[in-house]
Amino acid sequence: MPAYLDNAATTPMRPEAVDAMLPYLRERFGNPSGSHAVSREARKALDEARDVVAECLGAGPGEVVFTGSGTEADNLAVLGVHAVRPGAVVCSAVEHHAVLHACHVVGGRLAPVRSDGLVDLDALAELVDPDVSVVAVMLANNEVGTIQPLAEVAAVVHDRAPHAAIMSDAVQAFPWLDVADLAGPADLVAVSAHKFGGPKGVGALVVRRGTTVGPMIHGGGQERDRRSGTYNVAGIVAMAAAMRATVAERQATVARVAALRDRLADGLLAAVPGALETGARATKVAGNCHLTLDGIEAEALLVLLDAAGVYASAGSACTSGAVEPSHVLDAMGVPRGRGLGALRLSLGTETTDADVDLALEAVPAAVARLRQD
Ligand code: PLP
């Protein structure tokens, strides 16, 4: 059996989510914006899903905006606030490209992180002034898994720019952390269904009361004019089902997966000479195992791992044939040579002991082979 260790890229759908969505792809196909019985059935499902999503995110139903992805939720947060409240935008240097590039569009400033991947609060304070309209700091990082101290970030921001909105990308955090609680200090919170057992192409943005976003997508005025477009009812219903199941099982999942991750990380650190773990484990989500390996090209390693049935990722972008070091590792000050040898093994709810055993066998063997060549 191969080992799927790329859950930060996407997760298999939970059976609860598949079961929940199927009727809305078949007989309950209505458009919730209509008024007849078929529409009303879809509207009821949409309203119920909204209640579940709101509760799982610690928000009110009116504060949830459904989107077509995590990327869209991130863009709506940054650009939507900026559209109604123009001003400087600040984001952490380790944000996902969905935030980073949106900030770039409006000339954003980058807040540096320390070598452990956590945002440098003193440097952040220097960048935030009353002119700032949005500060974006993610809850958990997609490459190295570090969890940002959002309450401390909020304290810094509120002190210096009382009117700035705080935006937090919780896309990678949701499977592992109590987002309803930890993202409390944020005015805008983005999630994506396919990272926690829901389908691809559906996400949500919490926009807390008192925060206004201008629409990025114009049309029929759905989502109280914040996001037009006919509702993806099946996707939204499935996202709600996946959220409910994730939250119900989260504590037990985290304990189980953290133990697997620790065995994997400790085993690889012992078996692969020169391997270094990225970030402090105590400040990382349970599913993340990220290593840098000296003298190895990640792309070559991934090819060997793929052949051995271990599905992982490099965490660095491959553009036009050239492997670029990741902006996250760069921001953490990881030397370029090491950054090019990054390996992200991301565990999920379905990861087993056998998956870890296979990775513990395949990774040291592949590294040894590459070092021989
Ligand atoms: N933000 C983070 C932290 C992510 O990891 C991802 C997906 O990789 C996204 C945003 C984008 O989400 P989506 O794939 O739904 O567009």
Q: For residue range 345-360, what is the model confidence (pLDDT) as tens digits?
A: 999 999 999 999 999 9
What pLDDT is recorded for position 317?
58
Residue 83 binned pLDDT confidence (cut-offs 50, 70, 90): very high
Shortest-distance atom of ligand 1 to CA 201: 15
pLDDT at 322 exceeding the cut of 80 = no
- Dist. CA 9 → ligand 1 center (Å): 8
Q: How far apart are the first and last CA of the chain?
A: 28
pLDDT at 221 exceeding the cut of 60 = yes
What pLDDT is recorded for position 323?
66
* Most ligand 1 atoms within 8 A of CB, residue of 66, 67, 71 to mutate: 71
For residue 204, report the phi and psi dihedrals to the nearest 5 degrees. Answer: -150, 150
**pLDDT tens digits, 229-251:** 999 999 999 999 999 999 999 99
Shortest-distance atom of ligand 1 to CA 140: 3
% of residues, the chain, pLDDT over 90: 95
Q: How far apart are CA 175 and CA 57, in angstroms?
A: 12
Q: What is the mean pLDDT of the chain?
A: 96
* Most ligand 1 atoms within 8 A of CB, residue of 96, 191, 328 to mutate: 96
What length is written for the chain? Answer: 373
* Most ligand 1 atoms within 8 A of CB, residue of 195, 232, 236 to mutate: 195
Shortest-distance atom of ligand 1 to CA 8: 5
Element (H, E) at 342: strand 342-346
Q: Which residue has the tokens 């991934």?
A: 302
What pLDDT is recorded for position 316?
59
pLDDT at 201 exceeding the cut of 90 = yes
Q: What tokens appear for 143 in the block?
A: 């490459």
Cβ neighbours for 43, distance < 8 A, ≥ 6 positions apart: 30, 32, 33
**pLDDT tens digits, 271-307:** 999 999 999 999 999 999 999 999 899 999 999 999 9
Cβ neighbours for 313, distance < 8 A, ≥ 6 positions apart: 6, 8, 9, 302, 344, 346
**pLDDT tens digits, 129-185:** 999 999 999 999 999 999 999 999 999 999 999 999 999 999 999 999 999 999 999
- Dist. CA 97 → ligand 1 center (Å): 8
Q: How far apart are CA 91 and CA 75, in angstroms?
A: 13
Positive or negative, the CA dihedral 71, 77, 81, 86 is negative
* Residues contacting ligand 1 via CB (< 6 Å): 69-71, 74, 96, 98, 138, 142, 169, 171-172, 192, 203
* Residue whose C-alpha is closest to residue 73's, from 246, 239, 185: 239
Atom 12 (ligand 1) nearest CA: 70
What pLDDT is recorded for position 337?
87
- Dist. CA 70 → ligand 1 center (Å): 5
Buried b (16+ CB within 10 A) or exposed e, 119-147: bbeeebeebbeeebbbbbbbbbbbbbbbb
- Dist. CA 274 → ligand 1 center (Å): 31
Written out in words, the top-level CATH class of the domain with range 15-246 is alpha beta
* Bridge pairing between strands 64-67 and 109-111: unpaired
The three-state secondary structure class of 289 is strand
The yes/no answer on whether domain 3-9+250-372 falls in CATH 3.40.50.720 is no
Question: CA–CA distance from 228 to each of 76, 215, 221 (Å)?
Answer: 12, 8, 5
- Dist. CA 224 → ligand 1 center (Å): 24
Shortest-distance atom of ligand 1 to CA 193: 15
- Dist. CA 73 → ligand 1 center (Å): 9
Q: How far apart are CA 232 and CA 66, in angstroms?
A: 9
Shortest-distance atom of ligand 1 to CA 141: 3
pLDDT at 99 exceeding the cut of 80 = yes
- Dist. CA 96 → ligand 1 center (Å): 7
* Residue whose C-alpha is closest to residue 165's, from 134, 196, 142, 130: 134
pLDDT at 320 exceeding the cut of 60 = no
* Most ligand 1 atoms within 8 A of CB, residue of 91, 141, 171, 202 to mutate: 171
The domain segmentation of the chain, as residue ranges, is: 3-9+250-372, 15-246
Residue 289 annotated among the catalytic residues of the structure: no
